[in-house]
Structure 1
Amino acid sequence: MAPKKIIIDTDPGVDDILALLLALSASSEELEVALVSLTFGNIGVEECLRNAVSMFHILHMERQWRIEKGMEPGFSALERCKPVLAVGATCPIEDQLLEHDYFHGKDGLQGVHEAEMLAHLHHSPSEAWKHMFASSGTSDDSSFAVLPPNFRPSVIPAYKEILNVLRENEPDSVTIVAVGPLANLALAANEDVETFLRAKEVVVMGGTLNVEGNITPVAEFNQYACSYSAARIYALTSPTPRSTMPPCRELQPYPDQLSRPLKLTIFPLDITTTTLLSLETFDQVTKLVLSPESPENGSPLAQWVRYFVARTFDVIKDTLEGERDRDRFLALHDPLCIWYVLTSETGEWTINENVDVRVEVDGQWTRGMSVVDKRTKIKELDETKPLKDSDRGAWLHVTTGNRVRVAVDLRDRETFGADMLRRIFLTTKSTNALA
């Protein structure tokens, strides 16, 4: 069976990096990561690029270290296909004011680059990599004197690379996993919506339906950061996108008739904030590849990840001062989306179909809010019959309203964190040691 081909659209902070590592740690029979497209979000896009290049640099070091130790190198998805790495949107659609979420630190990884320079760990690549992404009008590999060993840099904007991947592959063969603000996806759909609809599925980490927001009382960060983009992507699930799509000065309206609706599956805070990782679990797994006596001689990847994960737990501890210790966990927002792609056929997931989720774009207090019609008296209308006065407030009609798939549960949610870490850090040899 051919591997599942995916695009990952991301703003690499802490859980984004874990999601990328989970995808790249898959076997070459499971996944093929065709493209990693970068967007602003938790941090600016330049910091996102630095973090992504650093991750690929560390993965090269990790594979070499494992081979030297007589272990399987792992990350075989990288052997099958070197992902394209492309820089995308630098700001929200409609110039919406955005304050970055510095929960992840100002560099997105809790200051890991500065710490490494001070400690002379040499895990961060030199600044020479920046020229690889400078616009020169071509993305031909021959334009680069020295290519990185495990990714392909692009000088083309990320949204155009998304469309390139979709054009180059058969319809329904590429899944887009978006774990940051959706500006790159909105730009791609704006340029060529029918090519965008060739995607097999779009999987989004974003929104909150029945729990409090994490950036405002009612909004999740990704949806708040670029609410117009989210609203436009959600609208593509509707039989009539204009019925739910807000007017936007920067982007064109969609055509009245599209070839088909978008299959969109969202992972709101309702499920991601209940999928947790403890520091104890992180320590239990990574200690197998980090010697307590000389951790600097252990896994380069575990050293690197341990720095920013441990400091993220410190931030959580400070934020929850006075709360119970058992409440101090890292929510695995973004990795959960990758896990869904890997396991969607296993029967582990509970998905609610055809939920009419709409995104508020301009509200003074409600920007980025997921709005769902929870009224029980409003029935789905028959498009063949004229609307009655009593029907005027109905949202979901045969030809209107969004049809979003909402992830609500994972059967083995309690063990997901440990399963993810084992995939990322442990080879067969070290997995046997764990047992």
Structure 2
Amino acid sequence: MAPKNRIIIDTDPGVDDVLAILLAFAAKAEDLEVMLISLTFGNVDVRSCLRNVVAIFHILEKELKWREEQGQPIGFEGITKYKPIVAIGADEPLQDTIESADYFHGIDGLAGTHTTHPHFSPEENWKNLFEEPPVEDDLTKKAREQTKIEDVPTQSFTPSLVPAHKEILRLLRENEPDTITLIAIGPLTNFALAASEDPETFLRCKEVVTMGGTVDGIGNVTPVAEFNVYADPYAAARVYALSSPIPSSTMPVPMEGERSVHMPTYPPKLSKQLKLTLMSLDITEHHMLSRREFNAHASSLAAKASPLAQWMTAFMTPMLDKMERLHHGHEGEGAALALHDPLCVWYVLTQEDDRWKPSSRSPEDIRIETAGQWTRGMTVGDKRSRKRRNSDGEVPHDRGNWLGNRSGNRVYRMLESPGRGVAAVYLLDTIFGPK
């Protein structure tokens, strides 16, 4: 029986990205299949992101063995009943210079654990999985065949030599329309590349669920911009434009400069509009995982030598320490990390719950600022109370056709969930099992 949800996760791991991926892998097989993990630059460079994803599989393989030895439920049907593909994608934005968040997530994206806790990192030979094999002589071939299978961590994932955006298009092309949800928890560069190469195939997806932006709140890298959008606003603008009846009405203006990739315009007539669901800071900032909640689940398991609990403690502890330094009044057990990226996976798993509610203005005309000197990456929403016009004609009081019936983007921005306090419990219970 096919799972209720089949997803592609586009990611730049990142601590909260790892939490989101673990949540997806820990879901029951009948609820979710992760078909592809596609990697992009973002929190750290794309090669560091790849190492972090390989580390997830490396740790989970150890965890599953430990659980079996302990007589505990195995779980993680996302890798025991499926074998996700892992593909490397964009290593820089479509335009302008690269931005990273290593100042927050650490130089390796996981609070430095590859250096401080090297025994949790996979052996370096994993890199060979993502490189074209060299031409072998008979002696080299024999040596390779004698390599122990456990020396190369491929049991639980399939490495791809194809660029991530091409893997996305292949999976969408080879499966029925409206059966694969695309989840973006990093910059939208890979999705923009896929949509540019073959927009009609990209529109075969069921929905794009993306973490990014802020409309009613404040930014986390500038006063108005959230990191994922800021890192490649041009890519975000192109993906958002596919939600418009007339994509050309919100397409970004190409920049001129040292870093600018030529991207073709979309055809004037597309078969459908993209369904775009946005998890912005407006909702994610209010769903927190506290030190108290994490320790309540992980501490006893770590003491029993659970590889997963020990590994997560290794990067969660310094991250929660950092949050404690940043937010006075939330010291000690009250220190907390926002569950930005896990909310996207939680939404896909529980979207039938009627407590998920978008903003009252949804679908909203939300656009991405790509050219502003101080407003790069701003997600601009129309908060005016005026109604749409019957015509798309330009008039002095509506520059940009924000009130036109046919122009503008159509974005569903989630503002309410099944509960702010529910998210962390759901995440931890799914990953570790109920306390």
Q: Distance in 2 between matches of 1:318 and 1:387?
A: 50
| 2:335 is aligned with 1:328 | yes
- Of the structure 1 ranges 64-73 and 128-137, higher mean CA displacement relative to structure 2 is found in 128-137
The gaps in structure 1 that reach 5 residues or longer are: none
One-letter identity of the residue aligned with 1:27:
K
Give the whole-Å Cα distance in 2 for the aligned partners of 1:195 and 1:77: 25
Given that residues 280 and 414 in structure 2 are in contact (C-alpha distance below 8 angstroms), is that contact kept between their aligned partners in structure 1?
yes
* Residue matched to 1:233: 239
Structure 2 match to 1:257: 269
Q: Secondary structure at the match of 2:341?
A: helix
For residues 364 and 136 of structure 1, do their structure 2 counterparts lie closer, same or farther at Cα, with a shift above 3 Å needed?
farther
Rounded to whole Å, the distance in 2 between the matches of 1:102 and 1:300 is 27
Q: What CA distance in whole angstroms lies between the structure 2 residues aligned with 1:246 and 1:136?
A: 40
For the 8 Å contact 2:292–2:334, the answer to whether it is kept is no
Quick check: 1:116–1:124 contact (8 Å CA) kept in 2?
yes
8 Å Cα contact 1:285-1:418 kept in structure 2? no
Runs of 4+ residues deviating >6 angstroms: 322-327
Q: Aligned in 2, Cα 1:328/1:21: closer, same or farther, shift over 3 Å?
A: same
Question: What does residue 381 of structure 1 align with?
Answer: 389
User: 1:397 aligned to 2:369?
Assistant: no
Preserved CA contact (<8 Å) 1:358 1:372: yes
| Alignment counterpart, residue 345 of structure 2, candidates 338, 344, 369 | 338
Alignment of 1:6-405 (within 5 A): 6-117=7-118, 122-135=119-132, 146=149, 148-248=154-254, 250-290=262-302, 295=303, 297-321=304-328, 328-352=335-359, 353-377=362-386, 379-383=387-391, 394-405=401-412
- Bigger shift: residues 356-365 or 242-251: 242-251
* Contact 1:47 1:108 (C-alpha < 8 Å) held by counterparts: yes
Contact 2:401/2:408, CA 8 A, preserved across alignment: no
- Higher mean alpha-carbon deviation, 303-312 vs 367-376, is at 367-376
Other-structure match for 2:257? none
Give the letter aligned to residue 373 of structure 1. Answer: D
Report how many residues are paired.
412
Q: Check conservation: 1:247, 1:253, Cα contact below 8 A.
A: no
> Which residue identity does 2:209 align to in structure 1?
V
In 2, Cα distance between the equivalents of 1:404 and 1:108?
30
Residue identity in the other structure for 2:106 = G
Please give the per-residue CA displacement for 1:51-98, whole angstroms capped at 9, x wherever unaligned: 000010000000000000111111012122100000100000113342
Change (3 A) 1:309 1:355: same
Counterpart of 2:10, as a letter, is D
Over 3 Å counting, the alpha-carbon distance change for 1:314 and 1:386 in structure 2 is closer
- In the superposition, the TM-score normalised over structure 1's length comes to 0.90
Q: Normalised by the size of structure 2, how large is the TM-score?
A: 0.90
Please give the root-mean-square deviation of Cα atoms over the aligned residues, in Å: 2.0
Q: Indicate if the aligned counterparts of 1:355 and 1:403 stay in contact, CA closer than 8 A.
A: yes
Task: State the one-letter code of the partner of 1:356.
Answer: D
- Partner amino acid, structure 2, of 1:2: A
2:120 aligned counterpart, secondary structure: coil
Aligned letter for 1:181? P
How far apart, in 1, do the equivalents of 2:334 and 2:218 lie? Answer: 16
Structure 1 Cα separation of the partners of residues 395 and 328 of structure 2: 55
Q: Deviations over 1:92-135 (max 9, x none)?
A: 01133424442111100001111123xxxx22111000011114
Instruction: Determine the C-alpha separation between the residues in 2 that align with 1:207 and 1:255.
Output: 27
Alpha-carbon spacing, 1:42–1:301, altered in 2? closer, same or farther (3 Å)? same
Query: SS of the counterpart of 2:117?
Result: helix
Task: Give the 3-state SS of the residue equivalent to 1:59 in structure 2.
Answer: helix
CA–CA separation in structure 1 for the residues paired with 2:265 and 2:191: 15
